Amino acid sequence: MLERVRAWLDERVAWNQIAEFLSHKTVPLHRYSYWYFLGGITLFLFGVQVVTGMLLLLYYRPTSNEAFESVQYIMTQVQFGWLVRSIHSWSANLMVFTAIAHMFSVLFLRAYRKPRELTWISGMVLLFLVMGFGFSGYLLPWNTLAFFATKVGTDMVGQMPLVGHKLMIFLRGGEEVSGATLTRFFGFHVALLPGITTLLVAVHLALVQRQGISVPPAIEAEWKASPAARRDMPFFPNFFLREMIAWYVALGVLGALAALAPWELGTKADPFASAPAGIKPEWYFLFMFQTLKLIPAKMWFLDGELVGLAAFGSAGLLWTLLPFFDREGARFGRKWIVGAGIFALAYMSVMTVYAYWAK
């Protein structure tokens, strides 16, 4: 039966060729191989987001009058609505975490080297898109925290020189955060960002299939010395089965989080009320938020916040162009990159913890 389906497909889309190509896909086996799971988990979580997001779309209403009530409806009246919504919120956070972890693991294993520069760049853009998903999605329940976090976040965008104000108005759909902002963010979150992300994920995956999975330089050296020591695992079925285990674990974690720590509703946003004390953005923006809070209002003749934003902006740009700083033979570049990676990881962790502590 399966054979007939395969034959039918092959006549139309050269299935056998594709299957043949995939059957050769291997995964290098070494002491760092476990890190290879992170990309797949991120992809799995993206799938979870798409499915739960589409389910939420059946009941969610993106207007300032009804958004909060519709989420309340989902949480309390819709059968298993609480499960879908809590999984969506938790998976979003988990996905940001695994995406960042995936990025750092690629950095430390130096998988961005030639010929994989484009994979790194597409991955970095994907990371920014994921954070855009997080920022836009966070507003959708239209509760007090979300409203003010969005206000603060878009205020910071407005601080940028020249384009800042126009960009802020574009994001907000006006001068203030309002129902227009909600409509816009909804459009970003369910149409614009998914469209771009899907394309980029396809590119990112195609590149990985084409170029194979990278081997860290240390291991490369070892295997060069003794070729017989090299081990590879076929992707199908061996590595894939292991990935399934990882995905099931992630699923279990999500279910547990949804049932034991359901995502809260909060209180409906009131644009005329004053911001509650201690407004903070979501955890993955905290390190930037905290940094901006610590920068003095004026540094020499420059506005402090501007300096902070410029620093993060240029850091992001340089990070995206990382592969071009680490060329073959330039050992100097490599040490800098590893150092920068450790510094960034440490800085982000410390600042995030600090932000929670500082309240």
Q: Which residues bind other proteins (CB under 8 A)?
A: 26, 29, 55, 58-59, 61, 64-66, 68-70, 72-73, 75-84, 86, 178-179, 228, 230-234, 237-238, 241-242, 244-245, 248-249, 251-252, 255-256, 258-264, 268
Q: How far apart are CA 164 and CA 309, in angstroms?
A: 11
Q: How far is the CB of 29 from other proteins (least distance, A)?
A: 7
Q: How far is the CB of 162 from other proteins (least distance, A)?
A: 31
Q: How far is the CB of 347 from other proteins (least distance, A)?
A: 34
In the bound state with other proteins, the residue whose beta carbon lies nearer, of 260 and 297, is 260
Nearest alpha-carbon partner for 42 in 96, 90, 89: 96
Residue 315: how many CB atoms within 10 A of its CB? Answer: 14
Q: How far is the CB of 66 from other proteins (least distance, A)?
A: 5
Q: How far apart are CA 265 and CA 86, in angstroms?
A: 10
Query: What three-state secondary structure class fits 26?
Result: strand
Q: How far is the CB of 38 from other proteins (least distance, A)?
A: 18
- Residue 232 pairs in a beta bridge with 28
Q: How far is the CB of 352 from other proteins (least distance, A)?
A: 25
User: Tokens 């574009």 correspond to what residue?
Assistant: 170
Q: What secondary structure letter does DSSP report for 263?
A: P
**First-to-last CA distance in the chain?**
62
Nearest alpha-carbon partner for 232 in 245, 244, 221, 219: 219
In the bound state with other proteins, the residue whose beta carbon lies nearer, of 13 and 58, is 58
State the alpha helices, DSSP H only, in 31-143: 37-57, 67-76, 81-108, 117-139
In the bound state with other proteins, the residue whose beta carbon lies nearer, of 259 and 294, is 259
Nearest alpha-carbon partner for 186 in 137, 127, 130, 128: 137
Q: How far is the CB of 304 from other proteins (least distance, A)?
A: 35
In the bound state with other proteins, the residue whose beta carbon lies nearer, of 207 and 251, is 251
Q: How far is the CB of 37 from other proteins (least distance, A)?
A: 14
In the bound state with other proteins, the residue whose beta carbon lies nearer, of 41 and 286, is 41
In the bound state with other proteins, the residue whose beta carbon lies nearer, of 65 and 314, is 65
In the bound state with other proteins, the residue whose beta carbon lies nearer, of 49 and 291, is 49
Residue 351: how many CB atoms within 10 A of its CB? Answer: 18
Nearest alpha-carbon partner for 111 in 206, 214, 34, 222: 214
Q: How far is the CB of 223 from other proteins (least distance, A)?
A: 9
In the bound state with other proteins, the residue whose beta carbon lies nearer, of 231 and 298, is 231
Is the backbone of residue 288 left (phi > 0), alpha (psi -120 to 50) or beta?
A: alpha
In the bound state with other proteins, the residue whose beta carbon lies nearer, of 66 and 175, is 66
In sign, the C-alpha dihedral spanning 248, 250, 253, 254 is negative
- How many CA within 13 A on the CB side of residue 296? 5
Q: What is the largest CA-CA distance in the chain?
A: 75
